[in-house]
């Protein structure tokens, strides 16, 4: 490993403040709780896991046994993942890391993790690597069963997004059917913030990614205001959902932020940008900042058609690789053409940006570091108590960790049937921006004012040391779901 920076060294020493229940693991147990029933259509596909209950962690008498736990990262990186593994390691379990994603399970590529001391509170997934292999053929399932049986694993923890947790549910079902005792537990990961349900308030990595992008957007806003010569079109990651754009818009107040879930036509979008440019020009402002979600392609049929012509491969889960599509450039071209048609005489100098990979492997925020450590500990407890096919759920995240509630929820309760690569598949439904939700309503009430007046806000870099209000806050969209009513007044 390279020499560590001073900040890395300081972060190695950070100790997440945990919910009380996770401090003495011998004094906790799971209690069954009422939860919603899975979709009836899933019963045939999941006969062994269909009726599994949900559990809540409560005080009580825990068991104590030596555990052997496999861990795997699946999909894109997200800040905090190493803390999930550190937490499992710290419970005293023997930890086997599967290398470079789910293919490590199928091909039995693994190594025992004997030392995590250089990975605490650090970004990336490089301790064991990650990958996007989807376990779907009978051969892959059989090979996975062989791997976990050979390793005599008590449990396998899959750290992934919606598709990876779908894989976790399928593996749990397959292992049970085969009489294998290895339990499968999922951890909600993805910067996209689209693995959200009543039980999963946010996936880890979203907070760190948004705070990284928001810093950069704020810097660009200030540059735009200083130099007054460019329109900055900034595409932000988020394969389908615009959760990242919404969170960053709330933090930075750009002149315009497109939200795909409003399902507008291309003409309307271009007209809005053109009008913005013309109106700002009339106000003496030939500069501005516009946020574009990378998932816009999926929601605007005309852009979708243009993207199809690029003939991009889909990933193994059937997702279009939207990060490879220069949506911001397509929009800039269309706006330029429309302005020319309107004989616009002002200046329209543009800079295009794409912020994606910059925010996935950064050092985790205190929120993500703490959330991940709690998730990892909870996963080890699920395996100790022999729960399978469940995802770790922590709620009340906008509050102090003392108030967090810790649950194990059957993954199947999050699933529905969707057409993927032309076939009907059981998957976890992606959580899009809720246009009737508190965060969107607040944003919608403010945005008109942000267009012409420059109401830019500069969040600055992620803070790790000092005032908790500056260092420890949960993402805004999580805080908003815990507010009783949407506030439409400006909080500035």
DSSP symbol at 340: H
Asked if residue 190 binds ligand FBP (CB under 6 A), the reply is: yes
Which CB atom, from 357 or from 465, has the smaller least distance to ligand FBP? 357
Q: What is the bridge-based pairing of β-strands 405-410 and 54-59?
A: antiparallel
- C-alpha 48/C-alpha 101 separation (Å) is 26
Phi/psi for 180 (5° steps) reads: -85, 140
Residues near ligand FBP (CB under 6 A), total: 14
DSSP symbol at 411: G
Binding letters toward ligand FBP, positions 140-169, x by CB under 6 A: ---------------------x--------
Asked if residue 415 binds ligand FBP (CB under 6 A), the reply is: no
Which CB atom, from 134 or from 239, has the smaller least distance to ligand FBP? 239
Report the chain's terminal Cα–Cα distance, integer Å.
Answer: 44
> CB under 6 A: which stretch of 5-13, 138-146, 235-243, 263-271 binds ligand FBP?
235-243
Asked if residue 235 binds ligand FBP (CB under 6 A), the reply is: no
Query: Hey, which residues between 192 and 211 contact ligand FBP (CB under 6 A)?
Result: 192
Q: Which of 69, 184, 191, 380 forms a contact with ligand FBP (CB under 6 A)?
A: 191
3 state SS of 271: helix
Least Cβ distance, residue 353 to ligand FBP (angstroms): 15
Least Cβ distance, residue 210 to ligand FBP (angstroms): 12
Which CB atom, from 190 or from 255, has the smaller least distance to ligand FBP? 190
Q: Which of 145, 180, 185, 237 forms a contact with ligand FBP (CB under 6 A)?
A: 237
Q: Assess whether 192 carries a catalytic annotation.
A: yes
For 114-241, list the strands marked E by DSSP: 155-160, 183-188, 231-236
For 230-375, list the strands marked E by DSSP: 231-236, 256-257, 288-293, 350-355
Q: What is the DSSP string of 16-61?
A: PPPPGGGT-GGGEEEEEE--PPPPGGGTTT-TTTTTPPEEEEEES-
Q: Which of the residues 163, 192, 454, 472 is marked catalytic?
A: 192
Asked if residue 303 binds ligand FBP (CB under 6 A), the reply is: no
Asked if residue 239 binds ligand FBP (CB under 6 A), the reply is: yes
- C-alpha 106/C-alpha 120 separation (Å) is 28
Which CB atom, from 323 or from 405, has the smaller least distance to ligand FBP? 323
Minimal CB distance to ligand FBP: which residue? 75
List the Cα angle 98/100/102 in 5-degree steps: 65
Asked if residue 29 binds ligand FBP (CB under 6 A), the reply is: no
183-188 sheet: strands from edge to edge: 28-33, 54-59, 405-410, 390-395, 183-188, 155-160, 68-73, 94-98, 110-113
Least Cβ distance, residue 351 to ligand FBP (angstroms): 22
Asked if residue 384 binds ligand FBP (CB under 6 A), the reply is: no
Residue numbers at the binding site for ligand FBP (CB under 6 A): 75-76, 78, 161, 190-192, 237-239, 294, 322-323, 360
So which residues are the catalytic ones?
192
């Amino acid at each position: 490993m390279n020499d560590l920076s001073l900040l890395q060294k300081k972060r190695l020493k950070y100790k997440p403040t945990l919910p009380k229940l996770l401090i003495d693991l011998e004094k906790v147990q799971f209690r069954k709780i009422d939860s919603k029933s899975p979709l009836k259509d899933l019963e045939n596909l999941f006969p062994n896991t269909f009726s599994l209950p949900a559990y809540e962690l409560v005080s009580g008498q825990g068991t104590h046994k030596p555990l052997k736990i496999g861990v795997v990262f699946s999909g894109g990186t997200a800040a905090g993942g190493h803390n999930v593994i550190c937490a499992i390691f710290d419970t005293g379990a023997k930890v086997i890391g599967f290398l470079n994603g789910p293919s490590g399970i199928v091909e039995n590529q693994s190594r025992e993790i004997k030392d995590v001391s250089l990975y605490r509170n650090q970004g990336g997934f490089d301790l064991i690597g990650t990958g996007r292999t989807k376990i779907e053929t009978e051969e892959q399932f059989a090979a996975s069963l062989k791997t976990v049986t050979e390793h005599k694993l008590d449990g396998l923890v899959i750290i992934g997004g919606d598709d990876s947790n779908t894989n976790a549910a399928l593996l749990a079902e397959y292992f049970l059917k085969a009489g294998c005792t290895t339990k499968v537990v999922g951890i909600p990961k993805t910067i996209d913030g689209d693995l959200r349900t009543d039980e999963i308030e946010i996936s880890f990595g979203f907070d760190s990614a948004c705070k990284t992008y928001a810093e950069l957007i704020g810097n660009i806003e200030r540059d735009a205001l200083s130099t007054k010569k460019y329109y900055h079109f900034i595409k932000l990651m988020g394969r389908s959902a615009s959760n990242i754009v919404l969170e960053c818009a709330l933090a930075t107040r750009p002149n315009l932020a497109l939200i795909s879930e409003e399902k507008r036509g291309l003409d309307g979008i271009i007209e809005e940008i053109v009008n913005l440019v013309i109106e700002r020009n009339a106000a003496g402002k030939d500069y501005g900042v516009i946020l574009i979600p990378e998932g816009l392609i999926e929601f605007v049929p005309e852009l979708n058609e243009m993207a199809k012509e690029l003939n991009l491969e889909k990933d193994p889960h059937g997702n279009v690789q939207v990060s490879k599509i220069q949506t911001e450039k397509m929009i800039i071209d269309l706006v330029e053409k429309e302005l020319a048609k309107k004989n616009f005489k002002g200046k329209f100098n543009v800079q295009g940006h794409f912020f994606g990979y910059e925010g996935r492997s950064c050092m985790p925020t205190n929120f993500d570091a703490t959330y991940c450590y709690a998730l990892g500990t909870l996963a080890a407890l699920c395996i100790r108590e022999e729960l399978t096919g469940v995802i770790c759920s922590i709620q009340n995240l906008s509050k102090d960790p003392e108030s967090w509630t810790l649950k194990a929820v059957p993954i199947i309760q999050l699933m529905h049937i969707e057409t993927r690569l032309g076939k009907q598949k059981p998957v976890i439904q992606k959580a899009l921006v809720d246009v009737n939700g508190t965060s969107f309503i607040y944003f919608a009430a403010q945005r008109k004012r942000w267009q012409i007046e420059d109401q830019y806000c500069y969040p600055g870099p992620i803070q790790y040391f000092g005032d908790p209000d500056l260092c420890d806050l949960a993402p805004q969209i999580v805080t908003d779901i815990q507010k009783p009513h949407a506030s439409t007044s400006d909080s500035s």
